[in-house]
Each structure stands twice: as C-alpha cells, then as structure tokens.
Amino acid sequence: MARLKLPSQDTGLWARIRSRLDRALADPAFQQWAARSPLTGWFARRKARALFDIAAGFVYSQVLAACIKLQVFELLREGSRDVDSIAAETGLEPAAALRLLKAASALGLVKALASGRFALDDLGAATLGNPEVAAFVAHHDILYGDLADPVALLRGERQGQLAQFWPYAANRPGDDGGVGSNGDTAAYSALMSQTQALVADAVLEAYPFGGRKRLLDVGGGEGDFAATAAQKFPGLRITSFDLPSVAERAQAKLETLGLARRVAVVGGDMLHDPLPGGCDVVTLVRVLHDHDDDSALTILKAVHDALTPNGEIVVAEPMSGIRGAEPMGDAYFGFYLFAMGRGRPRTPGEIADLLLKTGFVRPLRLRTPNPLTVSVVTAFRV
Ligand SMILES: C[S@@+](CC[C@H](N)C(=O)[O-])C[C@H]1O[C@@H](n2cnc3c(N)ncnc32)[C@H](O)[C@@H]1O
C-alpha cells in the first residue's frame, strides 16, 4: 500500500511563501485590502465565511437539534405549513417558531416560500432520510456538555460524561473490572445500532467478500453488521463477537430478525480472551479507533491468531487525513474520542503500520462511497 504522507510543505521555497502569506493574512490592513480588491475579494470573502462558519458552528448544530427534537422535519414531510400550525404542533409561541424556521431556512434545512409558508429544504429532507443523523444529534447533548470547556478537557482537568456513556472506554488497559461487568452497554449499543445502516452498506460495497466463507465480526455490537452481511451474502457463515452483555443483545436481535441460525454470537473480551477461530475474514467495524495503540495491537494480534492462513482483516471506521473528510476524521472524531478518554482516529497509513507490526501483510486501502462515515483498510495473514 502506498503510505499516506502528510504534505511536506514545511521547508523550502513553498514554506517561505506560505509563511509570508500567513503573516499577511493575520494583518488587518491586508485583510481589508484583500476584501476590496477585485482580484482577491472572492477569496477573502470565502475565507471569512469559512472562519465565521467555524465560529458559529455550535449555534448551527443547536438549530438542527431544535428542529429534530421538535420534529419540524416530520411535520413538513407531507408538504408545506404555515408558522401558526408549526407553532401549535411544536408547542412554541408563533414568534419563537418563526425564529427557528428562519434560522433553519438560512441553513438550508427548511425553505421559506413566497406564501409565507415553510417547506422542507434539501438538508432537512436528507435528515429525514438518514435517521442516523437524529440519533447522533440527540447523543450530542452529552458530547457538547463535555466540550463546554475544551481547554479543561485538553488539559485533563475534567473527565466528562462521554466516558461514562462508553463504560469499556473508562477502563484502562489491564483493568478489566468494568469490562467484566460490562457496565451499561444498552445505551451505546442502541446508538451504534441506530447508526450502523449507512456504515454496513458502505463497507459491504467496498469489500464484497469475494470467495470468503467464514466471517468473524469482532466488536460486532448488536449484530447489525453481521445481519446485513448475512442478508447480502447468503453463502457466508458468520460469527458476531462482543462483550457478553452486548452479545446477549445481539442474540436477541438476530432471533427477532430470523437470522439466529445464520449468525452465531459469542460473548467475550477481545483484549483478554482468544477470539473464535477458523474464520477466513475478520471485520473490525468502528472498533480500532476506540483504542490506544497498545490495546489496538493486542486486538490485531488476537485477530491475526484467529484467522486461517491467507485470511483477511477488514478495518472499517472513519479515518484521519481522508481527503474531503478531514473535519470529520480529525476535528469531530479527534475530539470525540479524546472526550471519550481513549483511542484516536488514525490515517490509513497508521493503521497499515499497526497491521504490519502484528504480522499482517499487503495492507490496502479500499475506496468507500462515503468516507465521511467510513473508510476501509484490509490486509492478509500469511
Ligand atoms: C463503537 S462500538 C462499534 C459496534 C459495531 N461494530 C458498530 O459499528 O456498530 C465498539 C464495540 O466494541 C465492543 N467492545 C469494546 N471493548 C470490547 C472488549 N474488550 N471485548 C469485546 N468487545 C468490546 C463494544 O461493546 C462495542 O459494541
């Protein structure tokens, strides 16, 4: 695999030009000149808008959160409505409803019609079509609470609520007290399940299991990925592995889906127990990034041992440094996992390094249809 390298623009002529440009951009007089000049005006305005969007991002998110919590998009699903009817349905005063609708309209979530009524706009419609978004927005109440003082978080002066939401993350490597008792796995398992559909489809499109016979999905949660794989690939025998209390939930769900005979469920601790053997492909979907390097290496070694010769590992998660998805990988997941207390988003190259260290060969990055939510790196056991 061609290792991903960060652009090395910190030396030479380019670095000197860049550093002069940065100094100029920081100068208010230059900013005013650039904004007025016909040559640079569009560029200056674009940069100003980008900076403003970052500064105001929290407010934008909360406008979306209010729309979702008040089910504004649901109300508009069947067609446009006037402000009074939206106010009545949401329990807001008409003036407050109008304030929200105008904000949502400015963000492309709803559309203000000439008649004074409001209808769905593209982003509101997309939110309706992706229930994952609503699940994440609801979950953000915890994350944003922890991020209220980002500097305190970065300095390690406070441990937030997010670590409690993910009990396995609150345990340090080697301390399996909480993992053994599994903590409260129901809340995070439900969130993972609600947000799995997009991920599973993207992973299975990127990696359609050509010729593989036995899949082990490690950290398989409630079994949603295993269920999608079972439905798409009828010839595949599948085992889903997770902490015992999560495995129980997977078993119950697979029975409800009528897939319990196709998908075996095994409970255990991937950091300490051997994984079920005899599989020729192992998936780690949104699992590795939850772990610091030492635990990640332990997990990869366990996967290596569980695979048959020439078996393949598939690491699928949002990654760092993916072109076009940088804010999601490094800003969103970088801070999310930091607040959670463990793990980090890795570049495909960093994942390849961990794979090579644990004995895998021929790491390869596969393209996915939606790198915002998931990228894929595969490698082989010799
Ligand atoms: C972020 S969730 C991803 C779940 C699922 N793969 C998905 O994408 O929806 C990580 C999963 O790893 C599991 N996990 C964490 N630590 C574990 C351990 N030590 N042994 C087994 N499973 C573990 C969690 O219970 C959880 O289901």
pLDDT reported for residue 331: 95
pLDDT digits (tens, 9 = 90+) for 242-286: 999 999 999 999 999 999 999 999 999 999 999 999 999 999 999
Closest C-alpha residue for ligand 1 atom 11: 219
Ligand 1 neighbours, Cβ below 6 Å, are: 168, 179, 185, 192, 196, 199, 219-221, 225, 242-243, 246, 269-271, 285-287, 290
pLDDT reported for residue 171: 60
Amino acid at 70: L
Inform me whether the pLDDT recorded for 365 exceeds 70.
yes
Burial of 151 (0-12, 13-18, 19+ CB in 10 A): exposed
Domain edges within the chain: 21-129, 165-380
Inform me whether the pLDDT recorded for 111 exceeds 90.
yes
pLDDT reported for residue 245: 94
Can you give the three-state secondary structure of 190-235, one letter per residue? HHHHHCHHHHHHHHHHHCCCCCCCEEEEECCCCCHHHHHHHHHCCC
**Among the atoms of ligand 1, which is closest to the Cα of residue 272?**
19
Which of 155-164, 170-179, 253-262, 341-350 shows the lowest mean pLDDT across its residues?
Answer: 170-179
Which of 35-39, 171-175, 363-367 shows the lowest mean pLDDT across its residues?
Answer: 171-175
pLDDT digits (tens, 9 = 90+) for 24-33: 778 888 877 8
Q: How far is the CA of 272 from the centre of ligand 1 (A)?
A: 14
Q: How far is the CA of 287 from the centre of ligand 1 (A)?
A: 6
Fold entry, domain 21-129 = Arc Repressor Mutant, subunit A (1.10.10)
Q: How far is the CA of 23 from the centre of ligand 1 (A)?
A: 46
3-state secondary structure of 84: helix
Mutation pick for ligand 1 pocket among 136, 201, 242, 294 (CB with most ligand atoms within 8 Å): 242
Task: Pick one of 1.20.1440.230, 3.40.50.300, 3.40.50.150, 1.10.10.10 as the CATH number of 165-380.
Answer: 3.40.50.150
Prediction pTM value = 0.87
Matching fold, domains 21-129 and 165-380: no
Closest C-alpha residue for ligand 1 atom 22: 242
